[in-house]
Amino acid sequence: MKGLSSIERIILESIGTKSLTYKEVLNQTGLQENVCFNVLQALIIRGLLKSEGGHFKLTDSISPLMLEEINSSDAKKFECFELLEALIEQKINKVFRFQKIAMDSKDEKIFLAMLSNLETFLIDAHRKAEKVTPMKERKVIFWGVGEMQILLNQLIRG
């Protein structure tokens, strides 16, 4: 796989611009020790992380080709599918709604305005809490809307 798995991306996002110890990465991510250790080593081998004095940091010079690879639309699509599948399979504390809805154009405009308000709220909530909320406690939220005919045609084309 060229991109990143969700677990790899979560570790990289947890470290961010900081320098974290192994225990801090474990605390941020909530991963099992063996999984965390193996993923950290894989990220070092791929040249995305470095280990200095017991701390993990992002590599200073990630190649533009590697950045393009891990941030491509295909890589982000894969991460989205991976997390969505995990959410659907989640057994506890799951809130998942999926509905096919009939809407007239007035209600669609209202709905799109509500989505805009939701996005503004989520951006603000994230900014307020991102520095103090460990990655493992963050929420995965998704929303969207698509027209049935367009989606069906897309499914047919593959």
Q: CATH number, domain at 80? A: 1.10.10.10
Alpha helices in 2-147 (DSSP H): 6-15, 22-29, 33-45, 64-70, 73-89, 105-129
**Co-location of 86 and 104 in the same domain:** no
Same-domain check for residues 79 and 106 = no
**Are 17 and 83 found together in one domain?**
yes
Boundaries of domain holding 151: 97-158
> How many domains is the chain partitioned into structurally?
2
**Are residues 76 and 117 both part of a single domain?**
no
Report helix, strand or coil for 52: strand
Whether residues 123 and 144 fall in one domain:
yes
- The answer to whether 75 and 4 have CB atoms below 8 angstroms apart is yes
If asked whether residues 137 and 81 sit together in one domain, one would say no
pTM over 0.85: no
Is 78 in the same domain as 112? no
Q: What is the pLDDT along the chain (158 residues), one digit of tens a residue?
A: 468 889 999 999 999 989 999 999 999 999 999 999 999 999 999 999 999 999 999 998 888 888 888 889 899 888 888 988 998 888 888 788 889 999 999 999 999 999 999 999 999 999 999 999 999 999 999 888 888 899 899 889 87
